[in-house]
Structure 1
Amino acid sequence: MGYTGIILVDKPRGPTSHQVAAWVGKMLKSDVGHSGTLDPMVSGVLVVMLGKAVRLAPLLLQHEKEYVACMRLHADIPRERVEEVVKQFTGRVYQRPPRRSAVKRALRIRVIYRIELIDMQDRLVLLKIRCEAGTYIRSVCVHIGNVLGCGGQMIELRRTKSGGFSCDEAHTLHEIRDAVELKDEAALSAMILPPEQAIGDIPKIVIRDKAAKAVANGAMLAGVGAISVEKFSRGQSVALITQSGKLIALAESLFDSDKIDCGKPGLIARSTRVFATPNSVT
């Protein structure tokens, strides 16, 4: 029987993200997906979704990312000058995906929330970058080198965070394989996180168990089934959860939260991805 949930994998350099996810799926006998592709020679946290948790992909793909990058400059530049230029890359930046990228090389805008110079030795520069999903760190390094006037390139990259998930919480492929081969259910249970772990930042509607069963059957959510709502806008993605915190579905809100009267008639949300089955709601 396959598993449902999220497992954080410390992807090694070499294989593709798709290969890593496929290996995990084969070991755990589960359907899999992953959020945020890492190039083959990039390591770090890869969020692998198992079973019905694959439906979380649109949400997880939007997570902010954090990287540690090693950049090599093509000339000797004073550290003070490098720090000055690096700070200029905070905020909205224009990017065109690198030639080796699998996506269309159209000009795009991405946001860098924080970038800092951690260390510098000769022409090697170590950077920590917190950025919007879809940011190409290789392009950031090239652009920093261009502004410095000497040129530069990324030579190594590691993803340290994806959303609230850190590489410190991730497991190697060997650790997962050992737990499977030893049939260590306790270890596997500790590795596989429930889908609820992925919805920390999304607004929530707490619903009654009767409404949860109806939603699990494909029904839209009515106000009579809602117990409480967090702040959100019409059309925003929300999580429908039970009082015990079980994730039932992701949904699109039909009204602003301040226009919703809990316990009153009228439809308030339309499910977009259902995770629970009617029998799993108690």
Structure 2
Amino acid sequence: MHYVSESTKEYECVMQVHSDFDQEKLKSVISKFKGKIYQRPPVRSSVSRRLRTRKIFEIEVQEIEGKMVLMRIVSEHGTYMRKICHDVGLMSGYGAHMRELRRTRTGIFDERNLVTMHEVSEAVYMWKNCKDETYLRGMVMPMEIATCGIPKIMVDDNAVNAIAYGAKLTAPGVVGFQEFKKDDLVCVITTKGELVSVGKALVDYRRLAKVDKGEVATTDRVFIDRDVYPRKWGEGNRSSA
């Protein structure tokens, strides 16, 4: 959940403008918020009010009714929508505040993936009392889905168990990879697509393509059980002396 909560967010936001306004002028002001912006968290927030940068990937006006403006906003995590509304009001000169907000997507998960607790309760009942796990299997997703937005490094079977015990990933175990930069968050997966670990890249993907030894990524979180794959380290020739 830590990695999911720090992924891209999408919102449906209703902004109330404080005075009569020109729609085209307001839309022009709103469009200027796309890209990197400076933002200081509002007074009522759980973090320190230091000036910071956040990225707005998409911001668009979907509907205007009276003084109510419905916007769709896709942003970096940690962006305050009510602060965007307030700043739009300042920049336009009309004044504004956030009236309603609904988060519609976090990372790979959006409203279309949601099920109600009532539906979960019924699925569990069917599983426990009727031995029918069909409904429950339709709701429970593999944890690998949560990592869809994170670059992957694929390793061979002989490297898996060492990583499961906390070892860093080294170049000889790598069999494939996606594009990533040094210090990026990366996922290590098996050739079957199973999530092994999550860590920080120690080289970028271009460097990785040219090396055959050395450390490639740290192991910050392990998700696979130990000894699911065979233990292969320490099997080299040993001195009999």
Rate the CA distance shift 1:210–1:123 in 2: closer, same or farther, 3 A. same
Which runs of 5 or more residues in structure 2 are unaligned? 231-241
Query: TM-score normalized by structure 1?
Result: 0.73
Quick one: which amino acid aligns to residue 165 of structure 1? F
Equivalent residue for 2:191?
243
Distance in 2 separating the partners of 1:191 and 1:121: 37
The secondary structure found in structure 2 opposite 1:278 is coil
Pair 1:205-2:147 in alignment: no
Matches for 1:27-106 after TM superposition, within 5 Å: 49=1, 57=2, 59-106=3-50
Which runs of 5 or more residues in structure 1 are unaligned? 1-48, 50-56
Rate the CA distance shift 1:169–1:60 in 2: closer, same or farther, 3 A. same
Identical-pair percentage: 37
Query: TM-score normalized by structure 2?
Result: 0.84
Rate the CA distance shift 1:96–1:228 in 2: closer, same or farther, 3 A. same
The secondary structure found in structure 2 opposite 1:67 is strand
Pair 1:257-2:201 in alignment: no
Rate the CA distance shift 1:83–1:261 in 2: closer, same or farther, 3 A. closer
Q: Which string of whole-angstrom CA distances, capped at 9 and with x for unpartnered residues, describes residues 199-222 of structure 1? A: 223222211112112211222223
* Pairwise CA distance, 1:103: 1.6
* Pairwise CA distance, 1:78: 2.4
8 A contact 2:108–2:149 mirrored in 1: no
Matches for 1:1-282 after TM superposition, within 5 Å: 49=1, 57=2, 59-183=3-127, 185-260=133-208, 264-281=212-229
* Pairwise CA distance, 1:234: 3.0
Q: Could you tell which deviates more after superposition, 94-103 or 117-126?
A: 94-103
Quick one: which amino acid aligns to residue 97 of structure 2? Q
Rate the CA distance shift 1:128–1:186 in 2: closer, same or farther, 3 A. same
* Pairwise CA distance, 1:87: 1.1
- Greater radius of gyration (CA): 2
Distance in 2 separating the partners of 1:195 and 1:262: 31
Tell me the matched-pair count: 226
Quick one: which amino acid aligns to residue 23 of structure 2? R
